[in-house]
Amino acid sequence: MPVRLPLLIPAFLLLLRFGLILSPLSPWLRDDHQLASPLTSFTRLKEGIWLFQKGIDPYHGGVFRHSPLTLALFTTLIPPLPLVSALVWTAADGLAAWCLGEIWRARIAPNADEGRGLLLASLYLANPYNLGPTLALSTSSLDNALLLLSLRFAVLQRPSPAVLLLALLSFSSLPAVLLLVPLVMIVLSGPRATAVPRKVDLNAAGRAVGEFALYTIAFAGASTFVAGSWGWVLQTWGATVMLPDLTPNPGLWWYFFTEMFDHYRPFFLLTFSLHPLIYVAPICLKFQHDPLFAFFLLQGIISTFKSYPTLSDAGLYVSLLGLFPEIYTYFRHPLVTALLHLHAAVLLPLFHYLWLDAGTGNANFFYASTLVFGLANGATIVDSLWAGLRSTIGEKDGWDVVQL
Amino acid sequence: MSPLSRLKALFQAPPGDDRHVIRLQRQRRIYTRVGRISPYLQLACYVIGILWIFATPLAELGKSTYVDENALQPGQVNTYWEWAEVHAADRYLEGLEALKNSNATSQEKAGWLKDKFLEMGIPSGTQEYTFATSLEDVHGVNTYAFHSSPRTSGAEAVVVSASWTSLTGDPNLRGVATVLALAGFLRRYTHWAKDLVFVISDGHQDGMQAFLSTYHGFNPSTLSAEPLTLDGGVIWTALAIDYPGHSFSHLGLFFEGLNGRLPNQDLLVCAQIIGRWTGGVPVILHNTVDELRQDLPIPQWVRWTAAVGDWVWKEIVNRRAVKEWEYRAQNMAEQAAWMASGRASGMHGVFHQFRIDAITLFARPSMGPHGFHSLGKLTESLLRTMNNLLERLHASFFFYLLSSPASFLKIGSYLPCSVLIGVGCLIGGLRAYVNLGWERWYSEKLDDTKWIKRPRRLMEGVGTVLSLVCIGAGVYAYADSRLFAPLLAAKSALPLLPVVLILTLLPPFVVLLRPNSASPAPLAPMVKACMLFSLALLITPLSVLNFPLSLFLALLAIPLSLVQPSSGILPFLALESLNPVMLLLLQSGRDAIRIAVWDWQVLGAYALPLACVIWLPLVWIGQAICIIQE
């Protein structure tokens, strides 16, 4: 079999991250707030494993917030040794990149893929937003791989594995539950955009949702079995909603809640938690003709507004953008968005350094840079929403679309 | 039309049209207007930015310094340093002078110092270190002594230090004697809540760099040093005492650290207050005496203007406000020069990288009137003030430009200079980028021109910028190597001539190697847009990290953004004047580069890599824009 030369690029990128994970760079990055949140940090995972193996309930006390399933996996199958972790995280990124390529191939089928699948996979691997968390061994990279794998099964129209993986994902990243609706839509009507929304088989949809509920209950039972009590619910799912740990991250929640008077907390927690819910119905209704696009938009909204994001959430969203080249010409302000992202990528580590290393700045600096980052993500979502709607109309000379 | 009604007209549409058409038309009008004024906007950003630089020394923009941290209470204690301590310092000085006259080695000097500390009853040790640089090996021996805090567990420490070599280059004998006498004196008191660490470091900055690296467990690859035998708490603050002369007239404060880092302003303000009121010594910034310049006499060639010249000289040139402006500008320029070059102005500069606030107290050499008595007294009081700290210095400013010992500029008053220029670059880049996407198309059939879209060559533009940066990185690897550095010591520029010629002329021509493109869109403006974007991306964030450096890049950006695409060989040659490689032709320039190599390999000051990876490629990109003929 002839060696396909372009394959060397992702191979090189995978080898690079394997080497870098084993280098001293990885321990140095491991506790970086931008790369690992309290829910995904490798240091906390190791702490939890240690407590668990010593027979102490890791969910007692506020350090460990990984799901019991992750805990079970890392205490049995995957020991947290450097070489094993390097292999697992490299493999997860490789899997995620491969899934992305597969999803693209499924979307343009029956047309042949002209190497763009490989390009998308390489871009996923080369994206610093994805590379950083992997080097820090943040479990958010594994979450990304799970999500893409689930999406891959969905575009192949295999409901059971898709919802199974999504149920699994919802244990490490609760907001992923919102993606169930577009995921089921993809399973039912395929990954391609159609001129008119297809007739949806409601029974099949109900079956998929029921299956999801079943898996969730089963996993919850397994989690309780592993953890020995229901204590994990408040520490993992509860943390996503109630934000007990105000460790800084690139998201929009932490600073807001450090500044909050305690008697306002419940109200704003409710508002912040429910806020992403309101997008689900309108986006899924508007994009019935292209559920994959609805999935993409919703993923962007979740990654912008979730309570403990890391850079890999934004990285996944930016990578998914590559699946929709048809909308590129309709972007209204691509340059502004790109520059916002560039500025955010420079300002986030810079202000993080000024605040926590140099000690010359303060929390407001880093907060300001997270706002720039939020703005960049927001601009990406708004512009892709416009372009996605606009691309369905097409061009006509001398005509201009004012409103969609 | 009044400006207000013009503004209204911009948003109002001719009556009688559809709502959407009105909206579209309004949008178009605003876009056109923004496009039309953007060159003026860019120019305005540049002009205001430059004018702002000249406005920064104005008294109106400044603010008086004040102590922000209430715990410090500077100058509120009785001091006990008296003539007996001065006598002790004189005895130590005799010993030190004997060592100097006998040409003692570092090892002997350190041994002598260690004995003195041990005689006082303070645990002491020596540390031998070697920095392997590509110029020469830097070798020395440090002496240190740890006096544990008698009052608390000693979780924190204060460093009192002197280097063997003063920042003037002379031996710092009196500084060392002061530290020795202080050690013997301070250990007699029980009010210390912090460990007192006395360090006599060898060399100027290298000894302290070795000591602090080892103390904090850092092992730079160039350093091999003995481990420390004693250990203390977390160092919060540090003083470096620099007293090279026989007596001194002023106390100069040196505070700029490596890579443009500054200590908390509270430390400087306390030193200023205590120096002035406890020590009774006039306090100055650096070595600049706080005197306004003398009146300038009217030169011969202005005489013929008679009354006009008299008036100009009397009312402008010799006006008090102008002289004050010059004095403040001089202080700020010195601070900016230290910060932009990334060098530390004294031995204190190596502390900042470990998050220790440190300054050098420089006794400005003079015939009098001050000596050990005032220096010891004010150091004692300053240490008592630091002893009061319950948390690290954090309250006051970390971002400031000092215009005089008692006045400063807040970040908001100086930041606009470079940020405005950065925004100007961004506007220029955006305009160039937008323009590149459109092409005027003339149809003979319709006898009409219209604008059609065309694809831009963004990837090629980014590729050009990246490849020139990569060449810069190659130059860095070369400049950092043992191959090149010894050449810098040469007295004549001749052996360096090929290097200069290659680095000034060849790299921009790498653009000729680009693959052929069928695209009708021009490349040179695209490269320029990419350059402007990278400049904006550098200047704006850098302004909070190291403001003078960002201002330097902003000033470099102005000529670069004036470069016209495909303008040929003349502007190409004119840009050579901005090329840092040209420094190799001058003796002082070669010295500066040798210092940069030394500072990078020993102290980790960024000047050398930044010059190679940012400054050089920027000039090359400007030159490439001139020679790309597409």
DSSP per position, A345-364? HHHHHHHHHIIIII-SS-HH
Size of interface A-B (CB pairs under 8 A): 39
pLDDT given for residue B10 in this prediction: 65
Residue B271 and residue B420 share a domain: no
Q: Where are the beta strands (DSSP E) in B170-263?
A: 195-201, 223-225, 234-242, 247-254
Residue B454 and residue B500 share a domain: yes
pLDDT in tens, B453-509: 788 888 889 999 999 999 999 999 998 888 888 887 777 888 888 888 988 888 888
How far A322 CA lies from chain B's nearest CA (Å)? 17
Q: What are the beta bridge partners of residue B400?
A: B410
B37 touches chain A (CB under 8 A): no
pLDDT given for residue A1 in this prediction: 42
- Minimum-distance CB partner of A350 among B394, B533, B545: B545
Nearest-angstrom CA–CA distance, B220 and A325: 48
Q: Choose, out of A123, A335, A354, the residue to mutate when testing the contact with B (most B CBs < 10 Å).
A: A335
- Provide φ and ψ at B345, rounded to 5°: -80, -15
Among B335, B338, B349, B321, smallest CA distance to B414 is for B335
- Provide φ and ψ at B102, rounded to 5°: -90, 10
- Provide φ and ψ at B235, rounded to 5°: -80, 125
| Least confident window among A69-83, A132-146, A190-204 | A190-204
- Minimum-distance CB partner of B541 among A350, A358, A359: A350
| Least confident window among A66-75, A165-174, A249-258, B475-484 | B475-484
Which chain B residue is nearest to residue A397, measuring alpha carbons? B452
**Contact between chains at B398 and A360 (C-beta distance less than 8 A):** yes
Q: Which residues of A touch B540 (CB under 8 A)?
A: 343
In angstroms, what CA-CA distances link B110 with B116, B199, B356? 10, 11, 25
Instruction: Tell me the two tokens of residue B246.
Output: 């026989």
Which chain B residue is nearest to residue A346, measuring alpha carbons? B541
- Minimum-distance CB partner of A402 among B24, B540, B544: B24
Read off the amino acid at residue B322. Answer: V
| Averaged confidence pLDDT in chain A | 91
DSSP-derived secondary structure letter, B240: E
**Contact between chains at B541 and A339 (C-beta distance less than 8 A):** no
| Entry field: residues in chain A | 404
Q: How confident is the model at residue A392 (pLDDT cuts 50, 70, 90)?
A: confident
State the complex-level ipTM.
Answer: 0.79
For residues A228 and A254, the answer to whether their CB atoms sit within 8 Å is no
Q: Which residues of A touch B392 (CB under 8 A)?
A: 359
**Contact between chains at A360 and B399 (C-beta distance less than 8 A):** yes
Give me the half-sphere count of Cα atoms (radius 13 Å) on the Cβ side of residue B129: 31
Taking the whole predicted model, whether its pTM rises above 0.90 is answered as no
- Provide φ and ψ at B174, rounded to 5°: -70, -30
Nearest-angstrom CA–CA distance, B201 and B165: 9
**Residue B45 domain flag:** yes
Nearest-angstrom CA–CA distance, B140 and B542: 35
Domain that holds residue B366: 83-286+345-389
CB atoms within 10 A of CB B391: 10
Which chain A residue is nearest to residue B27, measuring alpha carbons? A402
**Residue B401 domain flag:** no
How far B50 CA lies from chain A's nearest CA (Å)? 24
How far B20 CA lies from chain A's nearest CA (Å)? 6
For residues B365 and B244, the answer to whether their CB atoms sit within 8 Å is yes
Instruction: Tell me the two tokens of residue B181.
Output: 């006498």
Residue B521 and residue B475 share a domain: yes
Residue B357 and residue B427 share a domain: no
Nearest-angstrom CA–CA distance, B204 and B224: 18
Q: Which spans in B562-614 are helix H?
A: 569-574, 587-598, 607-610
**Residue B312 domain flag:** no
**Contact between chains at A342 and B261 (C-beta distance less than 8 A):** no
CB atoms within 10 A of CB B28: 11
Among B32, B65, B37, B43, smallest CA distance to B395 is for B65
Nearest-angstrom CA–CA distance, B374 and B365: 14
Residue B281 and residue B427 share a domain: no
Q: Which spans in B71-205 are helix H?
A: 83-101, 106-120, 173-186
In a 10 Å sphere around its CB, with 0-12 CB exposed, 13-18 middle and 19+ buried, how is residue B71 labelled? middle
Q: Using alpha carbons only, what angle is made at residue A79 by residues A76 and A84, rounded to the nearest 5 degrees?
A: 135
User: How many domains does chain B divide into?
Assistant: 2
Q: Which residues of B touch A361 (CB under 8 A)?
A: 398, 544
For residues B181 and B219, the answer to whether their CB atoms sit within 8 Å is no
pLDDT given for residue A3 in this prediction: 56
For residues B71 and B388, the answer to whether their CB atoms sit within 8 Å is yes
Q: What SS3 class is residue B150?
A: coil
Residue B375 and residue B255 share a domain: yes
Among A249, A318, A305, A257, smallest CA distance to A278 is for A305
What is the edge-to-edge ordering of all strands in the sheet holding B407-410? B63-64, B407-410, B400-404
End-to-end CA distance of chain B: give it in Å, rounded.
44
**Contact between chains at A350 and B398 (C-beta distance less than 8 A):** no
Q: Choose, out of A346, A372, A402, the residue to mutate when testing the contact with B (most B CBs < 10 Å).
A: A402
Instruction: Tell me the two tokens of residue B444.
Output: 């003979």
Nearest-angstrom CA–CA distance, A316 and A303: 9
Residue B475 and residue B377 share a domain: no
How far A403 CA lies from chain B's nearest CA (Å)? 8
Strands B195-201 and B156-163: parallel
Q: Choose, out of B398, B431, B456, the residue to mutate when testing the contact with A (most A CBs < 10 Å).
A: B398
pLDDT given for residue B568 in this prediction: 84
**Residue B311 domain flag:** no
Q: Choose, out of B31, B261, B545, B547, the residue to mutate when testing the contact with A (most A CBs < 10 Å).
A: B545
Q: Which residue has the tokens 């405005």?
A: B420
Nearest-angstrom CA–CA distance, B630 and B619: 19
Nearest-angstrom CA–CA distance, B592 and B488: 10
**Contact between chains at A365 and B544 (C-beta distance less than 8 A):** yes
**Residue B184 domain flag:** yes
Buried b (16+ CB within 10 A) or exposed e, A152-184: bbbbbeebeebbbbbbbbbbbbbbbbbbbbbbb
**Contact between chains at B433 and A335 (C-beta distance less than 8 A):** yes
How far B311 CA lies from chain A's nearest CA (Å)? 48
**Contact between chains at A339 and B533 (C-beta distance less than 8 A):** yes
DSSP-derived secondary structure letter, B370: B
DSSP-derived secondary structure letter, B578: G
Residue ending a domain, choose from B389, B424, B447: B389
Which chain B residue is nearest to residue A349, measuring alpha carbons? B541
Among A282, A262, A257, smallest CA distance to A272 is for A257
Residue ending a domain, choose from B354, B389, B424: B389
A397 touches chain B (CB under 8 A): no
Nearest-angstrom CA–CA distance, A375 and A364: 16
**Contact between chains at B541 and A403 (C-beta distance less than 8 A):** no
* Helical (H) or strand (E) element with B213: helix B206-215
Residue B378 and residue B465 share a domain: no
CB atoms within 10 A of CB A206: 11
**Residue B328 domain flag:** no
Phi-psi region of B240 (alpha: psi -120 to 50; beta: other; left: phi over 0): beta
Instruction: Tell me the two tokens of residue A365.
Output: 């600096």
Residue B551 and residue B492 share a domain: yes
Instruction: Tell me the two tokens of residue B1.
Output: 């039309």
| Least confident window among A22-26, A303-307, B452-456 | B452-456
Q: Choose, out of B537, B547, B550, the residue to mutate when testing the contact with A (most A CBs < 10 Å).
A: B537
A339 touches chain B (CB under 8 A): yes
Q: Which residues of B touch A328 (CB under 8 A)?
A: none
State the CATH number of the domain containing residue B116: 3.40.630.10
Among A81, A268, A276, A271, smallest CA distance to A173 is for A276
Strands B357-366 and B234-242: parallel
Nearest-angstrom CA–CA distance, B223 and B132: 7
* Helical (H) or strand (E) element with A372: helix A363-390
A352 touches chain B (CB under 8 A): no
Residues in Cβ contact with A23 at an 8 Å cutoff, skipping those fewer than 6 apart: none
A400 touches chain B (CB under 8 A): yes
Read off the amino acid at residue A391. Answer: S
Read off the amino acid at residue A311. Answer: L
**Residue B308 domain flag:** no
- Minimum-distance CB partner of A358 among B20, B261, B537: B261
Phi-psi region of A137 (alpha: psi -120 to 50; beta: other; left: phi over 0): left
Residues in Cβ contact with A116 at an 8 Å cutoff, skipping those fewer than 6 apart: A104, A108, A322, A325
Q: Which residues of B touch A343 (CB under 8 A)?
A: 537, 540-541
Give me the residues of B, 520-549, that contact A with CB < 8 A: 533, 537, 540-541, 544-545
Q: Which spans in A228-290 are helix H?
A: 231-235, 237-242, 254-258, 265-274, 277-286
What is the edge-to-edge ordering of all strands in the sheet holding B195-201? B223-225, B124-132, B137-147, B195-201, B156-163, B234-242, B357-366, B247-254, B283-285
Residue B366 and residue B218 share a domain: yes
Residue B420 and residue B360 share a domain: no
In angstroms, what CA-CA distances link A59 with A235, A356, B270? 6, 28, 49
Residue B259 and residue B207 share a domain: yes
User: Using alpha carbons only, how large is chain A's radius of gyration in Å?
Assistant: 21
**Contact between chains at B262 and A360 (C-beta distance less than 8 A):** yes
For residues B101 and B193, the answer to whether their CB atoms sit within 8 Å is no
Residues of chain B short of pLDDT 50, as ranges, are none
Among A219, A214, A208, smallest CA distance to A181 is for A208
Nearest-angstrom CA–CA distance, B29 and B22: 10
For residues A67 and A61, the answer to whether their CB atoms sit within 8 Å is no
Q: Which residues of A touch B217 (CB under 8 A)?
A: none
End-to-end CA distance of chain A: give it in Å, rounded.
50
**Residue B331 domain flag:** no
pLDDT in tens, A340-373: 999 999 999 999 999 998 888 889 999 999 999 9
